[in-house]
Structure 1
Amino acid sequence: MLTGSDFPERVETPRLAVRRFVDADAPRVLSILSRLDVIRWLDNPPFVPMADLDAARAWVVRVNAREAEDPLQAWRALEVRETGVMAGTVLVSRMERIDGGFVGEYELGWHLHPDSAGHGYATEGAAAHARSAFAAGHASLVIGMYPDNAPSAAVARRLGAEDLGEVPDDPWYGGVSRHFTLRPEHLDATEVRE
């Protein structure tokens, strides 16, 4: 079992810095999480856009604190090294079941600002963060999404994740979801641009 977080503060790939969030990220967090075209993929309805900069600052504090609460989870900003623009988020998050139970499952997830989509940043950042998660002690990660989230399914496939298909009663979010599982050997067997 981990004591403290074994996730690195910062990992660099050829194009990205996968790093802890800082307060200066709050305006970009607001720009991302106030968009219905982004948040509609992230949780269950009703989808409530982030309200203001204070809410974004509180979000940054909250996601950084999650690591102290459970060192097997970590949320990181994806920063484009060439421009310094925070493109989005990659995360390994504890998965609480709808019934309130927790059986040791963790999710690999990501979301980007639409102006940063289509460049391979989600795949590159998720691969780097998954490698950090496996080095920190995870044996596998769940990747869950709405069944019609084709862009995220494509990222999961590029990572080499095993497609488990549609699950009619998602134990974490309810309803129908599409699930993938990612293990270290999947990344090792896949050519992921980093």
Structure 2
Amino acid sequence: MTTQPGREQQAEGGGRSRGRSETTEERADRRWGELMQEIRVAQTGVQILFGFLLTVVFTTRFPELSATDRTIYIVTVSLGAAATGALIGPVSFHRLVAGRHVKPHAVVWASRLTFIGLLLLLATLASALLLVLRVATEDSYVPWLVGGLVAWYVICWYALPLWVRSRYTHGGDRE
């Protein structure tokens, strides 16, 4: 079987391809576009959450918070700021390396920043839930409820995708 230079070869026999027939640059362009779509969803959520967190300190009830709740608030805001930075980072990254013929590398690094941003978003959500539920109720089940919700996020965001990846990909199959 012959292929164009720079193109990935398709699997022989049965006509089923192991991947797309695209150059390294085309693959980087496609993966960049997909990554930007994913980031738009996460960015919107983290920015709205972070914006609300910033306003909490200006409410009349904030001075009434216990020292523990204030510490949780500071940790939550810090995590939200870090998540925002990591999820906006790929945009700046792209701007600074655009036209330098390093898009395949930029995609890898932007993907890593996005993954870190999602981990930070998970921590921000857990911390925010802990703070809100502690203020809303004094019940001892709050840590258990937050733990259950964090487990749910981990299942939805990491465990299920990793399970699907291991179940439906074989060997070196990649996008």
TM-score calculated relative to the size of structure 2: 0.31
Q: Which has the higher strand share?
A: 1
Q: Which has the higher helix share?
A: 2
TM-score calculated relative to the size of structure 1: 0.28
Larger Rg: 2
Quick one: higher RCO (CA 8 Å, sep 6+), 1 or 2?
A: 2
